[in-house]
Amino acid sequence: MNKYGKVAVVMGGTSAEREVSLMSGKGVLEALQARGVDAHAFDPATKPLEALKAEGFDRAFLILHGPFGEDGTLQGALEVMGIPYTGCGVLASALGMDKLRSKLIWQALGLPIPAFEILNANSDFAAIEQKLGLPLFVKPACEGSSIGVSKVKNTGELAAAFEEAYKYDKIVIAEQFIGGGEYTAAVLGEQVLSFVKIEPATEFYDYEAKYIRDDTVYRCPAGLSAQLNEQITAYVKQAFWALGGRGWARIDFLMDEAGKPYLLEANTAPGMTSHSLFPMAAREAGLSYEDLVLQVLNSTLE
């Protein structure tokens, strides 16, 4: 384990996803230490980032979620300091965090995505409700963990949903509802792992369903046909490549009632909590949580 040197598990931070990051980071830290890695917690909310250099860290396992940690900002700072880090680089992190820009790239490539509209205070909310149909989803472009997301079910509710999302980001998206099921694909290096189907007991797969409740049902493998698996795997690989992805990421996708897939969003710093989806897919591939963490860390040696 000496080949890794001193490893910083960068967790916490200042985004709205801080608590989730701390949960993920605790799991990663314990896994690395259990395998004999000289790993230490590092929270940028409590000490300056340059302390990574001052304290002699050789590499960083990034498990910060949300702005600063997952949007290319931290990655750029580490590039300047010359500290190898896990996961996607500056460009892929920035694009993956920005749901609007990633949608535009995938759309330009002809990849299937839900119909969407960009909202602002002057939007014709009634016209957008009619165009996209109800229900629909409203979300901030640059937040994760379903923070600020609303499901609009009734006519006239879109304006209030916009106001809620606008608290978290200046770019707000209204998105067509796709009702045939929610799934995720874990990308590890060059491999796409088994898909996970998510069946929340709540209205949708919100923050509570992701991290707090124990009645969300996960199915891995997801039960899709071999033909669909092959098709979606190709979409996921192309979506990951288009953003410039490397190392690991999750690509979430939806299915409609007719069995057509739609790419939803990318997560370039996947959650690693007890409820997280990436470890589930890894287990199906024969990788324990500790094996997965080490394999991700190994990417910093390349």
- Supply the residues annotated as catalytic: 17, 145, 276
Binding residues, by number, are 252, 265, 267
- Tell me the residue ranges of DSSP E strands in 156-298: 172-176, 182-188, 191-192, 196-199, 217-219, 248-255, 261-267
Among 273, 262, 207, smallest CA distance to 235 is for: 262
Amino acid at residue number 54: A
Given the structure tokens 């949007």, which residue do they identify?
Answer: 71
Instruction: Give how far Cα 137 sits from Cα of 133, 143, 161, Å.
Output: 10, 14, 9
Per the structure block, which two tokens stand in for 166? Answer: 């606008």
> Do 144 and 70 meet the contact criterion of CB atoms below 8 Å apart?
yes
Given the structure tokens 């500056």, which residue do they identify?
Answer: 90
Given the structure tokens 């992805």, which residue do they identify?
Answer: 245
Please classify residue 218 by burial: count the beta carbons closer than 10 Å to its beta carbon, then call 0-12 exposed, 13-18 middle and 19+ buried.
Answer: middle
Rounded CA-CA distance 186/240 in Å is 10
Rounded CA-CA distance 160/154 in Å is 11
Instruction: Give how far Cα 168 sits from Cα of 83, 136, 138, 268, Å.
Output: 30, 19, 12, 19
Sequence-distant (≥ 6) Cβ neighbours of residue 98 within 8 angstroms: 71, 141, 142, 171
Binding residues for Mg(2+), by number, are 252, 265, 267
Per the structure block, which two tokens stand in for 79? Answer: 């590039």
